[in-house]
Amino acid sequence: MVTSSILSPLDCSPQALADFENLVTKYGTVDPEGLAQRIRDAPRLLFLRESNGQLVGVGALKRPQLSYRSRVFAKARATTPPDEYRVELGWVAVAKSHQGRGLSRRIIGELIILAENENVFATTRADARAMRFAADYGFKSAGKPYPSGHGYDLVLYLRNAGEKHLEGR
């Protein structure tokens, strides 16, 4: 059975933070430079573990600086001001051995509840599956797809506080 825990990085052991970083680096598409510090700066980290303690999924709510948000919104050519979206949903990664079991949906659903009263943004690959996930949780695409620098395009998604959404059906 897979269980989840949502913690402040301050409440995590150094090993838990290292495990989180390793899973994100292995299965996420993220710049590893400065990642350890960005993880420590996140307000909330979600860990999915098997009953034997094996980490099989992670995700986070982040509060990135305005400079980062401005770059993302500019790359996407979004017309919405980035200062209205202070919370980012990200670093959602699931171990290959556990993919296809709905764990990404679970991670997103558990984290989004914590941010239901805030405007949230997220970026993900430009593909039909990601677009369905985004819509299920009240996110709408903003701007245009833009190059990730890793051989695929990213899409910026925005979710406004208080909007009705399906919460993953």
Q: How far apart are the first and last CA of the chain?
A: 21
* pLDDT (tens digit per residue) in 114-129: 999 999 999 988 887 7
* pTM of the predicted structure, to 2 decimals: 0.92
Average pLDDT, the chain: 91
Strand positions, DSSP E, the chain: 3-7, 44-49, 55-62, 87-94, 120-125, 140-147, 153-159
Domains of the chain: residue spans and CATH: 3-159 (3.40.630.30)
Residue 83 carries which DSSP code?
G
At residue 163, does pLDDT exceed 90? no
One DSSP character per residue, 10-39 reads GGS-HHHHHHHHHHHHHHS----TTHHHHH
Q: Can you tell me the distance from the alpha carbon of 19 to that of 14, in angstroms, rounded to the nearest whole number?
A: 9
Burial 132-154 (b: 16+ CB within 10 A, else e): ebbebbbbebbbebbeeeeeeeb
* pLDDT (tens digit per residue) in 89-101: 999 999 999 999 9
